[in-house]
Amino acid sequence: MNLDTYLFNQSQKIVRALETFLPKKSERPSSLHEAMRYAVLSGGKRIRPILALASCNAVGGKEKDVLPSACAIELIHSYSLIHDDLPCMDDDDTRRGKPSCHKKFGEALALLAGDALLTLAFQVLSSQDPKNSKRNLEITRGVAEAVGSSGMIGGQVADLEAQGKEVDLPTLEYINIHKTGALIAVSLKCGALAGGGTAQEVQALMRYGQYAGLLFQIVDDILDGEGYAKSIGISEAREEAKRLCGRAKDTLKIFGKKGEPLARIADFVLKRNA
């Protein structure tokens, strides 16, 4: 498979679906809806929803069954980036080469756009096919746990509390597992559940997601010269990234050829340079 073509095609599927879930700019309040669309549709790799689609395919499911969950995860990711960029958090003026949401629309509207995207994500999750209500409930609960105080937001708080301090390795791992890894891991879980995977398949894909989440963050740290790169050194961080990539790919053996896209994505994350 050509990974670039695969990622592009899958990303386009996600963008088309997101267009249907997001309110139109013409709907009141138009300023809020414009800010929401700006934050979600202004580029990005769409790695998390692509992982959800690939996970669904790995267990033999149909992409249409996981597309709402995949889009909900991307809406949540977009909300988190809006809030991360705010002056009270990371205070970033740009995102993906463009003005961050609060620089373009003001802090108050950016804050509300983030709130609205998080709310919309759970609206999307709750509107899935009622014939699979038990499965949908498990997906929704999993997403809520992954982004709440015991997941992504908890990791963000730990990151804020660590600012300006010497951070030990266990704290750094806690931050990365929760702030970055939790949403990636639940993307895999959503795909496996929506695709009707067995308990063994769901567990295997969740383990892949946990390894991939840490891998993603370590590579980020290497590129930025922060986190793991500072704590254990760039050379050791690169070795740890390679180990995580190998472990992630090992979890895919039970899927045979159907796990190839996930294996290739792990390699892509390991080798990325931006």
- At residue 164, the pLDDT reads 84
Fold of domain 3-271:
Farnesyl Diphosphate Synthase (1.10.600)
Quick one: which of 14, 26, 1 has its CA closest to 69?
Answer: 14
Tokens of 176: 């990365």
- At residue 235, the pLDDT reads 92
Angular region, 24: left φ>0, alpha ψ -120 to 50, beta rest: beta
DSSP codes, 211-240: HHHHHHHHHHHHHHT-THHHHT-HHHHHHH
Q: Where are the domains of the chain?
A: 3-271
- At residue 48, the pLDDT reads 96
pLDDT, tens only, 157-204: 999 999 888 888 899 999 999 998 999 999 999 999 999 999 999 999
Give this prediction's pTM: 0.94
- At residue 274, the pLDDT reads 64
Quick one: which of 205, 166, 173 has its CA closest to 186?
Answer: 205
Quick one: which of 69, 78, 156 has its CA closest to 114?
Answer: 78
Asked, as a colleague might, if the bond just before 130 is cis with ω within 30 of 0, I would say no
Give the chain's residues under pLDDT 50: none
- At residue 23, the pLDDT reads 97
